[in-house]
Amino acid sequence: MQELWIAAGVVLALILLIYGLYVRVIKTRNAALNALSTVDVQLKKRRDLIGNVLAIARETMRQEIGLIERVTSLRKQAGVEADPSDPDAVSEHLKVENVLGENMHRLFALAEAYPEAQFVAAMTKAQATYEEVEGHIAAARRFYNSAVEQLRNVVQIWPSSAIASMLSVKALPFFEMEPAEREPIQAADVFAS
């Protein structure tokens, strides 16, 4: 009878051990999947923010380029000599010169007020938000890689590896930097193109 109790105790201990390993494998897999979800949320935030940054930059450039193009066009028009014997041509030439002067004042005003311009503030805020999101992505990446390391240990170290194999639980890849991300940004390369 005593041997039966011992055998029952051994079987119960074995069942508890297997159940404990099962719980550990599932919890570790779920933690890694949760970490991956956190990374995905932060990456989506970044993608959404990039759209806003591009919209701000596009609008900024549209306004500036529009003014520069107007000044360039007016300069060409003003460079055409008017026939002094045609009052309408002279009048038109003087109007073009006046409009060119007004646009040059706008261009200089833009250049003087550039640091205080509204779009610069919006771009600066977007850049700060982008850097904040990048910080969140880095933290989420560290959290994910830590969870993946734990999952890999569970999947690769016996006896939990046997349970993981039975449950078809596989290790997830680490979220690593691309080789290009490891290199410092060269400002000269950015402005060369």
Q: Which two tokens stand for residue 121?
A: 């503030």
Number of domains in the chain: 1
Residue 184 domain flag: no
Least confidently predicted of 29-38, 48-57, 166-175: 48-57
Exposed (0-12), middle (13-18) or buried (19+): which is 29, by Cβ within 10 Å? Answer: buried
Provide the H-helix boundaries in the chain.
Answer: 2-79, 87-113, 118-156, 160-166, 179-182, 187-192
pLDDT on residue 11: 92
- Res. 140: pLDDT tops 80: yes
57 domain residue, yes or no: yes
Q: What is the mean pLDDT of the chain?
A: 78
Whether residue 159 has a cis bond before it, omega within 30° of 0: yes
> What is the mean pLDDT of the segment spanning 42-54?
80
Check residue 6 and give its pLDDT.
92
Q: Is 5 exposed, middle or buried (0-12, 13-18, 19+ CB in 10 A)?
A: exposed
d(CA 66, CA 73): 10
Task: Give dist(CA 144, CA 121) in Å, integer.
Answer: 34
* pLDDT one-digit tens code per residue, 164-173: 888 888 888 8
State how far the alpha carbon of 176 is from the alpha carbons of 107, 146, 187, in Å: 46, 12, 24
Contact by Cβ (8 Å): 78, 93? yes
Average pLDDT rounded to a whole number, residues 31-47: 84
pLDDT digits (tens, 9 = 90+) for 99-110: 777 777 676 676
Highest mean pLDDT among 3-12, 140-149, 164-173: 3-12
Could you tell me if residue 193 is inside a domain? no
The residue that leads in pLDDT, 153 or 81, is: 153
Q: Which domain holds residue 19?
A: 2-175
With contact defined as beta carbons under 8 Å apart, do 129 and 48 qualify?
Answer: no
Instruction: For residue 181, tell me if it sits in a domain.
Output: no
Give the pLDDT confidence score for residue 189 in this predicted structure: 56
Decide if 136 is inside a domain: yes
Q: What is the DSSP string of 102-113?
A: HHHHHHHHHHHH
CB 42 within 8 Å of CB 133: yes
Q: Does residue 33 carry a pLDDT above 80?
A: yes
Per-residue confidence (pLDDT) for residue 99, from 0 to 100: 79
Q: Is residue 191 part of a domain?
A: no
The per-residue pLDDT for 9 is 92
- pLDDT for 190 equals 45
182 domain-assigned:
no
**Residue 110 falls within a domain, yes or no?**
yes
pLDDT for the residue numbered 191: 47
Among 18, 20, 16, 38, which residue's Cα sits nearest to residue 28? 20
